[in-house]
Amino acid sequence: MSSGKITIVLADDHELVRDGIKSLLDDQDEMVVIDEASDGEEALEKVAEHQPDLLIIDIRMPRLGGIEAVKKLNSQEHSTRALVLSMHDSDEYVLNSIEAGAYGYLLKDTSKEEFVKAITTVHNGEKYFSGDISEILVKKYLENTSGTGSSDTPVEQPDFSLTKREREVLELAVSGMSNREIAEELSKSVRTIEAHRFNLMKKMGVKNLMELANMAQRYGLV
C-alpha cells in the first residue's frame, strides 16, 4: 500500500492505548495509522490485507502474543517491518523480540519525539532501540564476546579526539551501566552524561549504544 506516507498497522489489546498512540501520531503529516488489531492473529490478518510499512505491536496479547506474531510476520513474503512497543523491559522479552525479527523495541513511557524517530528509523530499514534497551543489548554483546580467547590485536585507532571525560563515560557505558548509574559514579547530572554520550556517538559516527560498543571493542578503546 502506498500513500506517500509511512503506513502503520497498530496492534494492542487495549483500545485506550491504541487511541492514545493514534492521537499522538495525528499531527505527523508523514505517518498514518491505517488499521488496528487487538491480538497477534488479527495483526497478521491486517498486515496481509493492507501490506503496511510498519506493524507497531505490543508483546502480551490474547490468542497470539507479539513475539510469536513478529516471528510469523518475518516468515512471510512482504516488506512490513515490526516495531515492538511494550511496557516490559526484561532481557528475555527484548532479546526474544530481536531474535524473532523485530526492527526495534521501545518502552511505552518513551517520549513522542523518540517514538516518531523510531518509526522513521525503522521505516528507513535501520534498527532502533531506546537507551535502556540498548544497555540490555550491550550486556548481551559483552557476554558473547568475553572469554572467546580471541588473539586479534585492535585495529589502528582513528583520531576520534575524545576528551578524558568522554573516555570515562565510554568505558562505563560499554560496561553496561545506565546513564543514571554513570552519573552517580562520576558525580555528574544525568543530563551531563547524556550530553557526553551524544558527543561520543557523533564523534565515532554511530547511531546507538550497540554500535558504540562494537566500535570501542574494534579499536581497543575499552
Asked if pLDDT for residue 1 goes beyond 50, the answer is no
For residue 124, give its domain range: 6-129
Asked if pLDDT for residue 150 goes beyond 50, the answer is no
Q: What is the pLDDT of residue 143?
A: 62
Please state the rounded mean pLDDT for residues 162-191.
88
The answer to the question of residue 1 being in a domain is no
Considering the domain architecture, whether residues 65 and 43 belong to the same structural domain is answered as yes
Considering the domain architecture, whether residues 149 and 122 belong to the same structural domain is answered as no
Considering the domain architecture, whether residues 10 and 118 belong to the same structural domain is answered as yes
With CA atoms as reference, report the closest residue to 85 among 121, 53, 118.
Answer: 118
Domain end among 129, 164, 198: 129
The answer to whether 80 and 74 have CB atoms below 8 angstroms apart is: no
- Per-residue pLDDT reduced to its tens digit, 34-45: 999 999 999 999
Q: What is the pLDDT of residue 8?
A: 97
The answer to the question of residue 55 being in a domain is yes
Considering the domain architecture, whether residues 125 and 147 belong to the same structural domain is answered as no
At 203, which CATH number?
Answer: 1.10.10.10
Higher pLDDT, 190 or 41: 41
Asked if pLDDT for residue 137 goes beyond 70, the answer is no
C-alpha neighbours within 13 Å on the C-beta side of residue 110: 27
Domain end among 129, 155, 187: 129
Q: What is the pLDDT of residue 218?
A: 79
Helix axes 91-100, 66-73, angle to 10 degrees: 20
Domain end among 101, 129, 157: 129
- Per-residue pLDDT reduced to its tens digit, 65-82: 999 999 999 888 778 999
Strands of the sheet containing 128-129, edge to edge, are: 31-37, 6-11, 54-57, 81-86, 104-107, 128-129
What is the domain count for the chain?
Answer: 2
Asked if pLDDT for residue 140 goes beyond 80, the answer is no
Considering the domain architecture, whether residues 64 and 111 belong to the same structural domain is answered as yes
Query: 3-class DSSP state for residue 37?
Result: strand
Q: What is the pLDDT of residue 3?
A: 56
At 22, which CATH number?
Answer: 3.40.50.2300
